[in-house]
Amino acid sequence: AAENKETCKTESWQRYDVVCGRETERTDGMFEVARTQNETNMLMFESKVSIQHRMSRLLGEVPNFCVAAFQVEMEDAQNDCPSLGKPFSRLLQIKSLLGTAKGNVICIHYSAGPTLRRAVTALCDYIVFAYVHLDEAGLPVSEKGLEGFLAVTRETKSRAVAAIDPSFIDGLVTGDAEFLRPLSAKLRRWSSEKELAGLALIPPVSTDIGAVAEFSNALWTGLRQSVRDHKVLIVGIHAFEADENVLKHLGRICDFLVFINQEVKPGAVCRMHYPAMKRLVYKDFVRMRNIPGAVSSSCLSVNLAVLGFHMARSSDRLVRIGDRCIEQKWTSLSEVCPSGREQESNEPGMEGLVQSNSTYVMTYETKRTTYDKVVKFLQAHPDGCIAIFGFNFDDLGGRCPNEPAFPRVRLIADVMAFNKTSLLSTATKYEDEDKKEPESQHSSLLCAFSESAEPTEHFPGELCSYLVYQSVEYSVASDTITVLNKARFKKFQRLPRNSGTWMLAAMSEFPWLKRAVTRSVFTNLFVKATKHWISQQKIQGIAMFPDALLPPKVFLEVVKRTYWAFKNKPVAMGLVVGVPAKARHLATWKKFSRFSDVMVFTMHRTAPDDLCQVSFPSVEPFSSRHLEEMAAISRYDRHHPVVCMSVNLAVQRFRTARRGAVVGDHCIQEEWEDYAQACAKEGSRETINWEWLSAISTNITVTQTFEVPKTLSIKASQFFRLNPKGCLALFNVDYDDPSGVCSSKEPFPRLTALANMRHTFGSSHRD
């Protein structure tokens, strides 16, 4: 293999598509440059890993800097490397890392709705007028509403787009190229005359998608003929069940592909429904992001109109979605002004408020439901865009009390202008402006099973942001990841959970790190095998919880290499790192924060000690010093990992030689058991030690120490007060009374209590 500074015969500079995506790509030990080679050629280049590594160092040390990218013509301009995403993948990555990647907000203005207000135009990147009617020859018909709309957009210098009346598409004869070519030329000339930024096709669900694709292709070709006067093309499709080939084709012939998830206008058949027509989950958003060869931006649709339904019968009874109605119309939010007392749907992904008055029922999106939909989409697709249908039905006049004008449009614009990379770990709930809790607070729960756990479908996985399975290890001999009990792991993979929950496998043993000579080689093999196994198992990443205290510098190098390897993927993998809270290595832990998505301060023992001694579940008395250190690390550097504090939900049972043993006494045997064995045991006395903030119970020669709801509540409240964006890492969750034997008669009572407690700190589980 060639070495640095070795003399070569010739040197030439080549395009990135020559090397991108090769399996032989390697990054040097300092992650400063990537290379790939064969017997006689070596190619050195900047990969996404090396770029991210160098920029992460700058982001932590130089607050304001720019990147000068030379030889940009050598980038992959034609997307010959589809595995890396869009064309110019490295430039897009640089833009995203700088925090300047701004998602587009497309506002669709309905001509039949309220008049466009000048102030709201600044929040929209494109404003679409729906709809422009065409005569039989395909010429746009000038209308008073359109001219008024254009007068406002010209005055505010907004980018106006005209949407073609979908009824014209329904009348098209597909395959008639002789008609479509001159039609697209007419529309291009007309859009230039009207000083439009582009054209849009936003059809109802009944429109044939083949006709939409053919018309889009003709418009795309026509609009591309003028280099100086570039026009955008926005295409909307009801495509969550569409054929992949159609999506692939449409992704190549428009600038914005809007995935429509509601009616584009009131339907002919009147049935009560939510603003969203389908519940969207994480895989839907990933599909929007991963359209092969797409040059378009994928957009999520949100409908801000208030949907009003005149019901066929009195609404005194419980109104149900799907009930027949006599008439449906769209109205403005200013006509209903939420009071906070409305009945809110809790059907995930279909949320909305429902108001009823005699035989009239209304459904609409609130700021909270709007925020949840947008953030969940951005978690899966940070570079996506939002298409706001019925945006002029928001409260444009600011009539609702305690709210600014156009509150939901303003909210979406604020989210899209924010550096969306910080939304990837956990999503914060948007707090209404008249509430007192800070808007920035959000928290999460990490739920780790014991090594002997038997996961069941009754476990409330939807309460956890991260689910962790232990008993996974790397075998140096076979160079593979081994699951010690495959049947249990399969059950773990089938646990109920939310669409954004991370499924993780934890490793605790790293024997190859003991020998310094082979450490680097085996670490590289470990990283490669782990990446392959995660992709194979379709989980989100791994957790590293070392049993033995590794030298911090050694462990840091393993974490660093794993982190960068995980981020050098089309779909980034997650890395959770556990560090002992007892050790005094704050400066080192700060370095770890740069190379982890979630950082767990382990404040408990991971297993019974060989030297049997009565002890509490925590390794040290509960102290604000630990909490302050965690808070300092959560604020350190530009990359903020989720910082967690661990607690042990197992009951520690000690059999002693004498009666009434106390903490520190030697014991004969230590076992960990279920909370049901301690929560209401006859003959035992449970007391709380306020220094350690844990409970202790003694019955003759058996002593138990464990966490009760009260101690957990105090620990959690103090932790979240200093770390409102942190998480609680609950270890041995399978020991939390899964049968509901304790006084609450509910399974997993402490886990449930902690999940509910998060609401008192202005947070909600929306992961």
The per-residue DSSP string of 600-649 comes to: EEE-B-SS--SS-B---SBSS---HHHHHHHHHHHTSSSS-PEEEEEEE-
pTM: 0.49
Calpha distance 628→549 (Å, rounded): 22
Answer yes or no: same fold for 105-418 and 444-761: yes
User: Token digits for 557?
Assistant: 């190098």
Q: Give the torsion sign (CA, 211, 197, 386, 89).
A: positive
Calpha distance 531→529 (Å, rounded): 6
The winner for highest mean pLDDT among 14-23, 52-61, 199-208, 395-404 is 199-208
What's the whole-number mean pLDDT along residues 476-490?
91
The predicted structure's pLDDT at residue 534? 93
Cis preceding linkage at 131, omega within 30: yes
pLDDT at position 360 over 60: yes
What's the whole-number mean pLDDT along residues 10-30?
67
User: Token digits for 327?
Assistant: 């008439």
pLDDT at position 54 over 80: no
C-beta atoms surrounding 663 within 10 Å: 15
What's the whole-number mean pLDDT along residues 417-439?
34
**Mean pLDDT of all residues belonging to the chain:** 80
Share of the chain above pLDDT 70, in %: 80
Each residue of 195-209: b (16+ CB within 10 Å) or e? ebbbbbbbbbeebeb
Element (H, E) at 48: helix 48-61
Q: 450: closest CA among 545, 582, 534?
A: 545
Calpha distance 641→633 (Å, rounded): 9
Cβ 328 vs Cβ 279: under 8 Å: no
Between 15 and 584, the more confident residue is: 15
C-beta atoms surrounding 7 within 10 Å: 5
Residues facing residue 543 across a β-bridge: 506, 576
The predicted structure's pLDDT at residue 549? 74
What's the whole-number mean pLDDT along residues 432-456?
66
User: Token digits for 114?
Assistant: 């309220």
The predicted structure's pLDDT at residue 430? 29
pLDDT at position 585 over 80: no
Q: DSSP strand E in 10-167: where?
A: 26-27, 34-37, 42-45, 105-110, 126-132, 160-164
- Going by pLDDT thresholds of 50, 70 and 90, the confidence category of residue 23 is low
Calpha distance 123→136 (Å, rounded): 36
Collect all residues with Cβ–Cβ distance below 8 Å to 193 and sequence separation of at least 6.
Answer: none
Which strands make up the sheet holding 343-344, listed edge to edge? 325-331, 306-311, 360-364, 353-357, 343-344
The CA radius of gyration of the chain, in Å to the nearest whole number, is: 29
What's the whole-number mean pLDDT along residues 132-147?
86
Instruction: Return the minimum-mean-pLDDT range out of 169-178, 349-358, 541-550, 631-640.
Output: 349-358
What's the whole-number mean pLDDT along residues 222-226?
79
Half-sphere exposure of 451 (CA within 13 A, CB side): 15
Q: 641: closest CA among 449, 494, 464, 421?
A: 421
The predicted structure's pLDDT at residue 151? 93
Collect all residues with Cβ–Cβ distance below 8 Å to 535 and sequence separation of at least 6.
Answer: none
pLDDT at position 317 over 70: no
The predicted structure's pLDDT at residue 681? 61
Phi, psi angles (nearest 5°) of residue 495: -60, 145
User: Token digits for 154?
Assistant: 């010209």
The predicted structure's pLDDT at residue 201? 94
Share of the chain above pLDDT 90, in %: 27
Cβ 508 vs Cβ 543: under 8 Å: no
CATH fold for domain 105-418: TIM Barrel (3.20.20)
Query: pLDDT tens digits for 492-541?
Result: 999 988 878 999 999 998 888 888 878 888 898 999 999 999 999 999 99
Q: For domain 444-761, give its CATH number from 3.40.190.10, 3.20.20.450, 3.40.225.10, 3.20.20.80.
A: 3.20.20.80
Phi, psi angles (nearest 5°) of residue 66: -120, 165
> β-strand 444-448 against 727-731: which pairing, if any?
parallel
Each residue of 11-29: b (16+ CB within 10 Å) or e? eeeeebbebbeeeebebee
- Going by pLDDT thresholds of 50, 70 and 90, the confidence category of residue 114 is confident
User: Token digits for 721?
Assistant: 């007060």
Query: pLDDT tens digits for 228-271?
Result: 678 999 999 986 666 788 888 898 899 999 999 888 877 677 88
Calpha distance 522→238 (Å, rounded): 49
> Domain segments of the chain: what residues?
16-97, 105-418, 444-761
pLDDT at position 449 over 90: yes
| Cα distances (angstroms) measured from residue 681 to each of 147, 699, 701 | 79, 9, 14
Cβ 13 vs Cβ 44: under 8 Å: no
Query: pLDDT tens digits for 393-404?
Result: 998 888 888 788
